[in-house]
């Protein structure tokens, strides 16, 4: 049984999603298993030399736990991936885990409580405006372009991190 082909059929028939969504979900699941493969190899649970990323997915599924999926979410956040992409990947993971449970590959659904990132569009826009004004003020102070770039990036990151933690 080719698990991804079966999952693709499940998406098309059970979830009634279009081809682009199916493609995105499959890319997202491949990304999850790529990350999982390297993580397991780093922990000496599997060998990269003998396992391709998409080989033996049924074996790798047993490593999916709520804690591991939260680690994956943290990994996505740490790599500055757009929130919309992270949220789509998390949705893909939840659907995949439900699919695995429905097909007896998992006893429990580890993605059941995996939540999306909060979206604060209004607050984010205010932060962007403030950071832009800060950058203009620094420019008026005759600060170098590199320093302005670094300061505004640091301030933006700090404020956005504070927003997410609220």
**According to the model, what pLDDT value does residue 20 have?**
93
Confidence of residue 83 (pLDDT cuts 50, 70, 90): confident
Tokens of 9: 């059929």
Lowest-confidence segment of 33-42, 55-64, 143-152 by average pLDDT: 55-64
**According to the model, what pLDDT value does residue 42 have?**
84
Cβ atoms within 10 Å, residue 130: 14
Three-state helix/strand/coil letters over 84-134: HHHHHHHHHHHHHHHHHHHCCCCCCCCCCCCCCCCCCHHHHHHHHHHHHHH
Whether 127 contacts 159, CB under 8 Å: yes
For residue range 13-24, list pLDDT tens digits in order: 887 788 999 999
Half-sphere exposure (Cβ direction) of 118: Cα atoms closer than 13 Å: 11
**According to the model, what pLDDT value does residue 163 have?**
76
Statement: residue 28 has pLDDT above 90: yes
Handedness of CA 142, 143, 145, 148 (dihedral sign): negative
Statement: residue 124 has pLDDT above 60: yes
Q: Which fold has domain 3-102?
A: DNA polymerase; domain 1 (1.10.150)
CA distance 125 to 1: 47
Statement: residue 107 has pLDDT above 90: yes
Instruction: Report the mean per-residue pLDDT for the chain.
Output: 88
**According to the model, what pLDDT value does residue 166 have?**
61
Lowest-confidence segment of 37-46, 66-75, 126-135, 146-155 by average pLDDT: 37-46
CA-to-CA dists, residue 139 to 53, 122, 145, 149, angstroms: 48, 26, 8, 10
Domain spans in the chain, listed from the N-terminal domain onward: 3-102, 121-165
Statement: residue 12 has pLDDT above 70: yes
- Give every CB contact of residue 8 below 8 A, 6+ residues apart in sequence: 22, 26
């Amino acid at each position: 049984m080719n698990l991804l082909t079966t999952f693709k059929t499940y998406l098309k028939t059970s979830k009634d999603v279009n081809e682009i969504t199916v493609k995105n979900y499959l890319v997202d699941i491949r990304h999850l298993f790529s990350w999982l493969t390297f993580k397991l190899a780093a922990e000496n649970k599997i060998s990269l030399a003998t396992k391709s990323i998409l080989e033996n997915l049924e074996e790798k599924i047993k490593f999916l736990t709520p804690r591991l999926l939260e680690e994956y979410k943290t990994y996505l956040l740490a790599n500055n991936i757009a929130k919309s992409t992270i949220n789509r990947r998390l949705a893909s993971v939840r659907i995949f885990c439900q699919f695995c449970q429905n097909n007896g590959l998992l006893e429990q659904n580890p993605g059941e409580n995996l939540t999306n990132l909060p979206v604060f569009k209004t607050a984010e826009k205010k932060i962007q405006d403030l950071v832009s004004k800060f950058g203009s003020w620094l420019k008026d102070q005759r600060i170098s372009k590199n320093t302005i770039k670094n300061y505004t990036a640091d301030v933006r990151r700090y404020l956005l991190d504070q927003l997410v933690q609220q």
